[in-house]
Amino acid sequence: MGNAYVAETPEQQKARKRRRKREQELSAEMAKVIKFIPKGVSTFRIALNYARMKRNTGFMPSGLMAINPSLFKTESVCRRTILVLRNNGMIAQFDNGLYGITERGHLAIQLLQIREPSIHEPGDDAF
């Protein structure tokens, strides 16, 4: 009959997950790029994803208040977040006063996805 799927034992599943996690670990140089961004939900992560969503059109810092009013309660929180990201080279200000994401910002998003993979991984469904 060919290659029939054989169910993995729990030990094999744990070994596969450990191997996958080890493959996804960041080097020290890569971790240094995003070390100021805390794990979990943070204003920096949301601002980076918002900048990526807005692409080349740019955005105003106050636009962050519309997408997540619980984290961005005041305009000063928005400006402070943008300032930290700008100082780290992840966001740049255009000539018209709007902000946009840089290549370093795109790299930071990818590194954050590696550092904190999604909770649900394909193939982990146990029905």
- C-alpha–C-alpha distance, residues 63 and 50, integer Å: 9
CA atoms of 33 and 93, how far apart (whole Å): 20
pLDDT tens string, the chain, 127 residues long: the values are: 555 666 778 888 888 777 777 666 777 888 888 999 998 889 999 999 999 999 878 999 989 999 999 999 999 999 999 999 999 999 999 989 899 999 999 999 999 988 887 655 555 554 4
Distances (CA, A) of 19 to 7, 13, 15, 23, 81: 18, 10, 6, 6, 35
The pLDDT assigned to 127 comes to 43
pTM, to two decimals: 0.72
C-alpha to C-alpha distance for 60 and 57, rounded to whole angstroms: 10
The pLDDT score that the predictor gives to residue 108 is 94
